[in-house]
Every structure is written in structure tokens, then in C-alpha cells.
Structure 1
Amino acid sequence: MIQSTSPTHKRGLWSSRLGFIMASAGSAIGLGNIWKFPYITGMHGGGAFVLFFIFCIVTVGIPLMIAEMIIGRHTRKDPVGAFRKLNQGRWVLAGWLGIIAGFLILSYYCVIAGWAVNYLWLALQGTFTPEHAAKVPQLFTGLLASDVRQLFWQAVFMGMTVFIVIGGVKSGLERANKIMMPVLFMILVILATMGLRSPGGTTALSFLFSPDWSKLDPPAMLEALGHAFFSLSLGMGAMLTYGSYAEEKTSIPNVAVTVCFMDTLVALLSGLAIFPIVFTYGMEPAAGPGLVFKTLPILFSQMPGGVLIAVLFFLLLVFAALTSSISLLEVVVAYYCDENKWGRKKATLIMGGIIFLVGVPSALSNSMLKDLHFIGGRNFLDSIDFLCTNYILPLGGLFIAIFTGWALTRGLAKGELEKGAVRFHLYPAWHFLIKYVSPVLVALVFLNKAGFF
């Protein structure tokens, strides 16, 4: 059994519990909430999928998030340093998987986020109007085919990410999230309210919240389980790193539950913003990944007030992407600051630059490098995404669940959980979930994503 250690490394801390919550929620809330959740909900029939997704958040998401945060706060280290400090390196692979995941995911995440920045720029120029409706379907194809535009918008988004992270824990990460998260929620509420008042609003409500259990087949359940895991930024070291900046008096269970609630709320509000538009114009809710960059822009150009709605929607998408990208870069930066003793400015600029260069092949995957195929015939971007989401992240989450449930001493875990609270009465339930339930469910995610069934 692993014994307790006391943190000695002086590092930056969140200035308040609110700052910790906003930053952690920002890490969890990303393109997956705004882009992926609506289309996979559409593909799997709506209400029953949504309810099972919430069940997975409770049984897998919350326990794992708490586990990452308590490891981070107790050690005051990056993912690699945390596991080295706790048990002299026997579980350090779990930390390395987080660093590698943050590095690789950010390399192609900036490319996709760059698409959102490009569309925001187009929306601000008034592109999505009835007069330009005929050109809208070709916008995405043209973007993917242009090497220069892809690289330019990738660089713009990476520059935004580096600018925030270089500011540090309080002045960079916390300040940015305290600005972007309230704006993100405000935009979502506006869009959801407008959606519910549209002709398709009632249909969207019924689709999202009236379960048809006959549509919840095993593939849908595994999809919901996988998305609950990935939606919360688990397995990539982000919550561990953010937990390492938490004050001793902060109640980690309260923060984790609040973050998971906010993440789920954003996913549901995104559905309420998007599905009314889809149903109003008679589109298919199972439109797939092209829903955001192909289907919705066409609808924006056809609807009253479409220009304003397009600006709000793509601003929302950019903010969601940015709050997640800064956490991905922070995982890598924290490693070089903690383990190699680099200054934050040096670590952020060097690693930001290297990650940008590694992402160049992803940016060119649909143009200059479109004829190159890698894993399963996928292009470079899709291959890196496949590797991260199907292998690296589930393995990282599985190791953390097993480590926390079976190797971490009960006294250490219970002590961290009771900081900031008189008594954590749900400790037995959490320990049961992290020891027995979460590892099994995360293993199912890994086996499913890896194609074993």
C-alpha cells in the first residue's frame, strides 16, 4: 500500500474555490459538449441516451474526477511528478499517458478549433445571410482544401492558447476562465431560449427528455459511457494538474460534483440550442460530425436573425475550445516547470511552438497530405485522434482508477476528501465506485474503442 506524503513544492494556487471551479469546468467543457454531444444524441435516439449518459457521469465521471484532483492536490505536482512522489515510479506510466495525451490532443485540437475561429470571422463579416446562402455549403470544403487558411487559423488559435497559459495560474488560466465561462453560459442560455421559442422547440424538448428505451442498445450505451469519460477531460492529466493548484481548505468532492453538473448542463443546453433549429427546418438530428460546420451554417443563412445567431454560436464554440486547450497545454507546461525546472514563459513558448509544428500534418490532412493514410486508412488528423481517444485516454483513466482504488491508502484519500468539509459521509460509496465500478466501466470503454467488441 502507498503511504502518505506531504507536499513540499511551492507552486501557484487558485485564488478561490470559484476560480478552481471555473477553470476545471472550462477544461471539461469543450468542443465535445457543443459539437459532439448533440450529434451522438441524435444518432442514438435522444432521451434514453441522455439519461444513461447522466448515469455514467455519476458512476464514472465524478469518482474519477475526484481521484485525479486528490492526487494532484496531495502531491502538488504534474502528472508524472505526482506518481513518482507517491510510489517511486511504479505507476508513473499513468502520468506519462496524461502528458502524451495533452500534447497529442492539443496538436490536432488547435486545427479543429481553428475552423471555429475561421467561421466566427466569417459570421462577423455577415457571410451567413440569404444573399450568400448558395455559397455556404462550399465554405467548409474550401477551408479544408486550403493549406494557407488551415495553417493560419491553427496558428491564431495556438497563439491565443499560449497567450493565456503564459500568464500563469491566477493571472492567466483563472482570469481567462472567469471571463469566458460566464459569457459561454450566457450565450448558451440565449441560444437555447431562442431555440425553444422556435417552431421546433417542443419537438426538441420531447426528443431530448422523453426516453424511448428501445433505442438504448449496447452500442448506444457504450457511446454514452465513452462520451461521459471524454467529456470531463479525464485520463489526460488536466484535472490532476488543476487539482495540484487547489487550496487545502477547498472541498474537492463539492468542486467535482459542481464541475460535472456544469459540464452536463452545457451539453443539454447545446442540445436545446441546436435541435430546435434542426427540427424547425426539417433536418435529420443524426446529421453526424458535419452538423456544426456544414448543416448549421446553411440553416443560419436561411433563418431570421441568422447572422446574429451565427456570431453567438461560433463565439460560443471558440470559447469552449479555448477553455479546454489551455488546460491541455497547462498539463505539458506543468511537467517542464516541475520536473525540468523551466520558467513558465520558456516552457509555454517552446512547447506551444513544438505542439503547433506537430499539428501541421493534421492541418494538411485534407489538402496537401490527403493521399497519405495511416491507422485503418485514416488521414493523419483522424489517426492521431483515434490513437488518443481509443487507447491513450482510456488507459490513463483505467490506471488512475485502479491506482486510487487499490494502491492509494484509505487514510490519504479520506484525508484529502475531508479537507474543506466537516466529514465526507459518502466516502464508502466513492471508494466502492472507484475500486470496483469505475475500473470495469472504463475497461469497457477501452475494449469498445479498441474494437474488441
Structure 2
Amino acid sequence: MSKVIENKERGQWGSKLGFILAAAGSAVGLGNLWKFPYKAGTNGGGAFVLVYVIIVLLLGFSLMIAEIALGRNTQLNAIGAYSKINKKWGWVGALGVLAAFLILSFYSVVGGWVINYLVKSATGALKISDANVLKEVFGGFVSSTTMPIIYHGIFMLITLAIVFVGIDKGIEKASKIMMPSLFVIIIILAIRSVTLPGAMEGVKYFIIPDFSKINMSVVLDALGQVFFSLSLGMGCMITYGSYLGKDTNIPKSGIIIPLIDTAIALLAGFAILPAVFAFGFKPDQGPGLMFVTLPAVFSKMPLGTVFAVLFFILVLFAALTSSISLLEVVVAYIVDKWNFSRQRTSIAIAIIIFLVGIPASLSQGVWSNIHLLGNRGFFDTYDFIASNILLPLGGFLLCIFVGWIWKKQQCEDEITNGGEIKFRLKKVWFFLIKYICPVAILIVFLRSIK
């Protein structure tokens, strides 16, 4: 089969907007909707938000441009992109593919929980105001053997259905529906939250920075949240960038995508923290913030069932826009490497990921006594290897590769479309990607493996 036919079959984005929404959807995930509000709640509120936004503008923008440029230049998957420029660096892309595979295996389990809670909300099963009872409900569900696996399978089936169809008709079309819907729902929830009696205390806490709260711990937490929130280091943006045409403005995309991701995170904060404060709950509940605290909040809110359903639809859309990018990273590598059918590859990989995810689900219950790394079960081991080792290591090596290995002129030509696009921050970007970003990521990496 000729190279021309291969490239044609590989797929392209149907529009620039489609790419932006799909890439932003990859970045927007469960971390935006519960981890960001939780991190803000435990790190001084507005102080954390301020540091987070500053880091997004520096780190997020720089890495996003680097990954998209690398993908578009090579028109290949994460492993192929590195290998095409320097054969010795293909293993760095392999770290990203492995990370995407591992993350989706347990991410899909949580996606199944979300679907279950959407069903529970719609049927009124979560009309419980006692957080302790809701905690028992959540614990009882995730620790059971059969139902979480069934919902895990449903989530993977939806993810597979989207990736199976292809880039423009599958991922792009789904993103064009889910991302605008996500924005509308989260804005509705934010308006409802900030207009609750007593909500202003939460609003003030979230937006007014207390500079005395800013310390190295807050900075490092914000740095870690930015890095993981933007889907960097796992090959998603390289893969999505590889489906881009040469007329796309990469610097513009590199700014818009992190801004959309940050806007969703901030709106999530407005949708969650004021409501939590209004009803006297604490914002530092981790996963329980989504599955225990918020259902309790909704049960006390007028039209609470409606808002609960809207919230879990929102969370499901965010989870799916991320999961399809994770599956696509693995599928794209296999299709590019061996020229296999996208459809058969998607089915095979989805089944394997589903099977690998089963121990992650069972580790919440009957297999909770099985430990792999230290005191970690399957779920936490997958998470630790991917989030604490593979992602920061992949991001660090990306900076080294783009900043020091890839020829500067070739990199510059790719980003500026051969000089057609004026990249006024070009010198600043090169300085950040060569010096500041790798040091910052290395700090996160060393801190995360303790």
C-alpha cells in the first residue's frame, strides 16, 4: 500500500474548530471537575487558583505547543513521531502510549461509577442529605464485585464506539457535541451554586487570594495539577497534532486549549465550592467530594434532582472526551506501525483495556487485600505508575527532545508554518521549553515518587 493511501486512511480533522474542541476535550476530564476544586479547597482557595493560572500560562502553553508541533511535523503517533526525528528516542513515545493504556484502564472504572451515579440521580436514589449514609452508598457500590465491572464495560463500550468510527466522523463529531454541552451545563450549575444563600463565602474563598497561603507546597501542587490536567506527557496532543493540516496556527491553538481547560476548571470551582460552603460541608473530601458531598448538597437544593442529573451528565462528557483521546493514542500507534484496520484495532485494544481494568475495580472490594507496589492495590498501582512516573518523565523528556535534540530551525519552521505565522513569543517559548519547563517538571517528578 502506498504512503499516500496510508496517510489518507489515517484520517484528518475536518475543521480547525473540531481539533480545538477535541484537544480541549482531551485535557478536560475528571481532574477538572473534582480534583481542581479539591486542590483549591485544601491549598488556600484563591491563592492556589492564582498560582495555577500563572503556571498554565507558562508551563501549559509551552508544552502544548511542543507536543502539537511534534505531532504535525511527523504526521505520526507518539512513538513514530520521536523515532522519525531521532531513532534513538522512540522509547520516549512508548512511555506515553503505556501511560495512556494504564490510565484508561482505571479511568474507565471511575467513568463507570459516574454512569452509575447518573442513573441513581435520575431515579432519585441519591435523595439523601446525610453524608455518612451517602458514604456508605458509595462504598457499598464500588466494593461490590459485579455492577462496577458492568458499568466499567459500558463506559469502555461508549469510548470504543466513538474511536471506532474515526477522527472526523467519530472523535471530532462527538467533541463538537459534548464540549459545547459541557460548557452550557457547567455554566448553569455555576450560576445555581453562586446564587445559593450563604454561597458568597465560598466565592470569596475561591477568587480572593490570601498571599500568606502561598508556599512551596501550594506551588508544587498547582504545578502538578496543571501538568496532569492538560493531558501532557501521554502522547494525546502528539497524536491529535498528527491529524492536523499544515495551515493550522499552532501557537494560537497552544494558547486556546489550555485556556479552555482552565476555564472549565474555574467554572467547576464556582459550581462546586460555593454550594459546598452554602450547606456547611468541607471542600477537602477528595473523591468523596463528587460521590458523597455533592449528592448531599443536591439533595438539599431546590430542584436538586435536576441539578444532580445535569452534574453527572457534565462529568460523563468530561470523562468521555478524555477517554477517547487515551484510546486513540494506543490505536494510532498500532494502526501506524502495522497498518492494521482501525476498527479491528479499536475493538481489540478496548477489550484488553477493559480486562486490565477489572483488577482495578475489584481492588476496591474483594481484591482489596492484594498489594502490588508497597501498600497499593491494582487501582492505586496503575495510577501511581502512570501519573507519578510515566507522565512527568515523559513531559521532562519531551522538553529535552524539543529543546535540545530537535533542530531548532526545523522546530521553528513547524511552529511558524515556514515563517508565515508571526510567533512573537518565540524566544520566550524556546527559553521556557529548554530551561524552565524541564526543571519544573523534574521537581514535580522527584516529589511525586517519594
Which band: TM-score by shorter chain? over 0.9
- Aligned to 1:166, what secondary structure does the other structure show? helix
Structure 1 residue aligned with 2:431: 432
**What does 1:251-266 correspond to in 2, within 5 Å?**
251-266=249-264
One-letter code aligned to 2:359: P
What is the CA distance between 1:132 and its match in structure 2? 9.5
TM-aligned CA deviation for residue 417 of structure 1: 1.3
1:123–1:311: 8 Å Cα contact kept in structure 2? yes
Deviation at 1:130, TM superposition (A): 5.5
**Offset at 1:264?**
0.3
Question: What is aligned with 2:421?
Answer: 422
Identity within the alignment, %: 46
Residue 425 of structure 1 aligns with an amino acid whose one-letter code is: R
Alignment of 1:296-375 (within 5 A): 296-375=294-373
Partner deviation per Cα, 1:17-42 (whole Å, 9 max, x = no partner): 10010000000000000011000110
- Deviation for aligned residue 1:134: 8.4
Matched, 1:71 2:73: no
CA contact (8 A) 2:396 2:442 kept: yes
Alignment match, 1:81: 80
1:166 to 161, 164, 168: 164
Segments of 5+ residues of structure 1 without an aligned counterpart are 1-5
Are residue 108 (structure 1) and residue 96 (structure 2) matched? Answer: no
1:23 equivalent in structure 2? 22
Structure 1 Cα separation of the partners of residues 366 and 125 of structure 2: 27
**C-alpha offsets along residues 334-359 of structure 1, whole Å, 9 cap, x if unaligned?**
00100011110011000000011011
Name the structure 1 match of 2:142.
Answer: 144
Separation in 1, partners of 2:328, 2:286: 31
Task: Provide Cα deviations, 1:152-171, integer angstroms capped at 9, x if missing partner.
Answer: 10000000000000010000
> Partner of 2:88: helix, strand, or coil?
coil
1:246 to 227, 244, 251: 244
Task: Give 1:49's aligned residue.
Answer: 48
After TM superposition, the score normalised by the length of structure 1 is 0.95
Aligned to 2:32: 33
Aligned counterparts of 1:239 and 1:329: Cα–Cα separation in 2:
13
| Residue matched to 1:99 | 97
C-alpha contact 2:249 2:421 (8 A) present in aligned 1: no
**Aligned equivalent of 1:408:** 406
Distance change >3 Å, CA 373–CA 152, structure 1 → 2? same
Residues in 2 aligned to 1:73 and 1:84: alpha-carbon distance in whole angstroms: 14
Name whichever of 142-151 and 332-341 sits farther off: 142-151
Distance in 1, matches of 2:286 and 2:275, equals 15
Distance 2:285 2:142 in 1: 19
**1: distance between equivalents of 2:396 and 2:436?**
11
SS in 2 for 1:292: helix
Call closer, same or farther: CA 1:9–1:171 in 2, change over 3 Å. Answer: closer
Counterpart secondary structure, 1:425: coil
Deviation at 1:306, TM superposition (A): 0.9
TM-score, L = length of structure 2: 0.96
Alignment of 1:181-192 (within 5 A): 181-192=179-190
2:84 partner amino acid? K
Change (3 A) 1:210 1:150: same
- C-alpha distance in 2, partners of 1:145/1:285? 24
Alpha-carbon deviation of 1:91? Answer: 1.1
The 5 Å alignment of 1:285-296 reads 285-296=283-294
Structure 1 residue 68: Cα displacement: 0.5
User: What residue is the counterpart of 1:3 in the other structure?
Assistant: none
Contact 2:129 2:297 in 1 (8 A): no
- Residue in structure 2 matched with residue 276 of structure 1 by the alignment: 274
Distance in 2, Cα, partners of 1:427 & 1:319: 35
Higher mean alpha-carbon deviation, 288-297 vs 418-427, is at: 418-427
Secondary structure of 1:294's counterpart equals helix
* 2:250 partner amino acid: I
Following the alignment from structure 2 to structure 1, what is the Cα–Cα distance between the partners of residues 273 and 228?
A: 22
CA distance, structure 2, for counterparts of residue 85 and residue 343 of structure 1:
22
Q: Note if 1:397 corresponds to 2:388.
A: no
Q: How far apart are the structure 2 equivalents of 1:422 and 1:411?
A: 14
What one-letter code is carried by the residue in structure 1 that aligns with 2:434? K
**How many residues end up aligned between the 2 structures?**
445
- Contact 1:113–1:318 (Cα < 8 Å) also in 2: yes
Aligned-CA RMSD value: 1.7
Residue 392 of structure 2 aligns with an amino acid whose one-letter code is: P
Do 2:127 and 2:295's aligned partners in 1 also have CA atoms closer than 8 Å?
A: no
After TM superposition, give the deviation of residue 138 of structure 1 in Å. Answer: 2.5
Could you tell me how far apart the structure 2 residues matched to 1:200 and 1:185 are? 25
CA–CA distance in 2 between the matches of 1:134 and 1:221?
A: 33
Q: In the alignment, which residue of structure 2 is the partner of 1:382?
A: 380
Indicate conservation of the 8 Å contact 1:48/1:212, yes or no.
yes
